[in-house]
Structure 1
Amino acid sequence: MSGLEGLYQQIILDQSKRRNGDGPLEGADAEHHEYNPTCGDEITVRVKLAPGAEGAERIDTLAWQGDGCSISMASASTLAELVSGRTVDEARELIEAFRTMLRSQGAGEPDEDVLGDAIAFHGVSKYVMRVKCAMLAWVALEACLAQAARPAG
């Protein structure tokens, strides 16, 4: 294992223990539950949005509650860290960049400037059975953003 892969593994282990954003969120604008039947991981993501600059909505708070493997919990923790304060459009771009990286099967070099600590999950892309673990919270956030964009009623 290269030094970089070891660092990435350490980031994943640290994030799975840190669990940034883990907990309830009162007054959420949207919430979505995802379940991975392959390994039993499950997560509920809740978001609270706020007005941003020039009328663009931003993610004020992302909270999640779940149980699963270290990859899914670390991924949720990393997501919560990365999207707080970003606009909804920026969050969607980040989700797509993360998805593209996880579909790469380990090929290429993802952009650390875009992905931040989420780049640590690049190695996960080599293990098809683990990709859904890493994507679980991100898919839940994507559904929350779609739900929040729909007009009430």
Structure 2
Amino acid sequence: MSSNKLDVLYRQVIMDHYKNPRNRGVIEDDSLTINMNNPTCGDRIQLTLKVENDIVVDAKFEGEGCSISMSSASMMTQAIKGKPIEEALVLANTFSDMVQGKDVEVDEDLDLGDIEALSGVCKFPARIKCATLAWKAMEKALHEEDK
């Protein structure tokens, strides 16, 4: 597939997650809740996670922001559901490296799915914080869970 067609496909995936976010909402009972914002652009997110036996069994988010931050939150919540904490954190590191333009070797067991659509963010350094906001919230929540 040509680079231009791939860019168009990735933009469509990002806009689909922005217009039809997955896992929007709040987990009410016995969940981890983290609020974060990006003061540079005004993006904000409230992430709630339900963790049982070191597995992320549910993930939801509320917030407002640009298409990159909100679609990234949607993709992230989809990607980490059902994953062990350790795997979710590896995925966060892989994602962070990817959007920063670093060479990323993806373990065959680690499926990026729609997240790969955000790989082009590395071309726009000002948008990296937008893309990583939800991921940083997830890392913070899971590190607090370990304490």
Contact 2:94 2:104 (8 Å CA) reproduced: no
Residue type of the alignment partner of 2:82: G
Match of 2:137 in 1: 140
1:95 aligns to 2:97 (yes or no)? no
Amino acid at match of 1:30: L
The one of 2, 12, 27 aligned to 1:10: 12
Secondary structure at the aligned position of 1:2 is classed as helix
Match of 2:78 in 1: 81
Q: What corresponds to 1:72 in structure 2?
A: 69
Matched with 2:146 is: 149
Structure 2 gaps of 5+ residues are: none
Which runs of 5 or more residues in structure 1 are unaligned?
Answer: 52-56
Give the letter for the 2:71 counterpart: A
- 2:36 is matched with 34
Amino acid at match of 1:103: Q
Distance 1:100 1:121 in 2: 12
SS in 1 for 2:83: coil
Residue 134 of structure 1 aligns with an amino acid whose one-letter code is A
Cα distance, 1:29 vs. partner? 3.1
Distance 1:15 1:123 in 2: 16
Q: How many matched pairs?
A: 143
Cα deviation, residue 32, structure 1: 1.0
Change (3 A) 1:129 1:85: same
Q: State the shift of 1:28 in Å.
A: 3.8
Answer with 42-51 or 27-36: which moved more.
27-36
Query: Are the structure 2 counterparts of residues 18 and 110 from structure 1 closer, same or farther at C-alpha, using a change threshold of 3 Å?
Result: farther
Structure 1 runs (4+) greater than 6 angstroms displaced: none
Taking structure 1 as the reference length, the TM-score comes to 0.87
Q: Is 1:121 aligned to residue 118 of structure 2?
A: yes
Alignment RMSD? 1.6
Shift of 1:33: 1.1
Partner SS for 1:148: helix
Say if 1:110 and 1:122, in contact at 8 Å, map to a contact too: no
Deviation at 1:50, TM superposition (A): 1.4
**Mapped partners of 1:103, 1:28: distance in 2:** 34
